A and B are shown apart, each in its own frame.
Chain A
Amino acid sequence: MKWFHISAVMGVSLLCIGHGLGLFVAPPEAMMGDVGRILYVHVPTAWVALVVYLISFGAAVGSLWFGRLTWDATVRASVEVGVVLTALLVFQGSVWARPTWGVWWAWDPRLTTTAIMMITYVAILIMRNAIQDSPRRLVITAVATIVAFVDVPIVYFSVKWWKSLHQDHSSPDTVSDPMILPLRLAAIGMLLLALGLIGARRKTELDRLNQEVDPASLPEPIEALSVPGESE
């Protein structure tokens, strides 16, 4: 029983409680009625997807810095979990859009850019599969992930910058009191579940990588190299 098993189980439990409360106990949302309850699954998914991509960014930087396979496996795992979450996000967003605005897909900057981000990260996974050489794969996956992640804040701020149909970020401050608890529970639950999934996925990936790679062929960690531009 590893840490990620525990994390996943705790996550699922909290998520159950959060969703249960949100669906059956909390009052209907002021403007949207019962449909507003999608909030309890949509907002946590959005928030956790962002955190997961943050993890992938950190892992990508670590991957370049240390050059170790453990970091590479973490990048792979977190990007994959991120893709799953983002795909869910797009689906949920679309399901929310239909009763709210009457269309399955609105030209909403946030929804659109989330879908685009998903494609970017899927492309990273596709590209990763095409590279057989392990050191190159590590570097290129990391580079692509870093570049892709820099796009994420632009997604995040698109709600603020561009006029949109989307609601403002439903942070607990803007939500009425009885709704905060299920929201927080669901959010934390989802986070724990996501971390558990990443941990498990990472382990499988690491085992697979270690199987095929001779550790001596990995790229030099950055710290071992002299700073570019200085004379050798």
Chain B
Amino acid sequence: MIEGGWGYIWAAYGVTWMVLILYGIYVFKSPNSHLQ
């Protein structure tokens, strides 16, 4: 049984969410809106 380790959990979840959110912003921000 491994004690604690919440640092790793936060690292894994934190980075995952951050990357997904940042990528989501990049993807949903339509760069072509100036064409419309």
Complex contact B27–A201 (CB within 8 A): yes
Q: Smallest Cβ distance from A30 to chain B, in angstroms?
A: 9
The size bracket of the interface on B is 20 to 34
Q: Which residues of A contact B27 (CB under 8 A)?
A: 197, 200-201, 204
Residues in chain B near residue A92, CB distance under 8 A: 12, 15-16
Candidates B5, B13, B30; contact of A41 at CB < 8 Å: B13
B16's contact among A45, A98, A197, by CB below 8 Å, is which? A45
Q: Are A41 and B28 in contact (CB under 8 A)?
A: no
**DSSP class of A's interface residues: helix, strand, loop or mixed?**
helix
Q: Give the complex CA separation of A18 and B19 in angstroms.
A: 18
A38-B9, A92-B16, A98-B8 given; A5·B2 CB < 8 A: no
B14 to chain A, nearest CB (A): 10
A-side interface residues toward B, CB under 8 Å? 5, 8, 19, 23, 31-35, 37-38, 41-42, 45, 81, 84, 87-88, 91-92, 95-96, 98-100, 193, 197, 200-201, 203-204, 207-208, 211
How many residue-residue contacts, CB under 8 A, span A and B? 76
Q: Are B12 and A34 in contact (CB under 8 A)?
A: no
Pairs across A and B, CB under 8 Å, 16 listed: A33-B5, A35-B8, A38-B9, A41-B12, A41-B16, A88-B20, A92-B12, A98-B8, A193-B20, A193-B24, A200-B27, A203-B30, A204-B27, A207-B32, A207-B35, A208-B32
Q: Are A38 and B23 in contact (CB under 8 A)?
A: no
CB A210 to nearest CB in B, in angstroms, measures 10
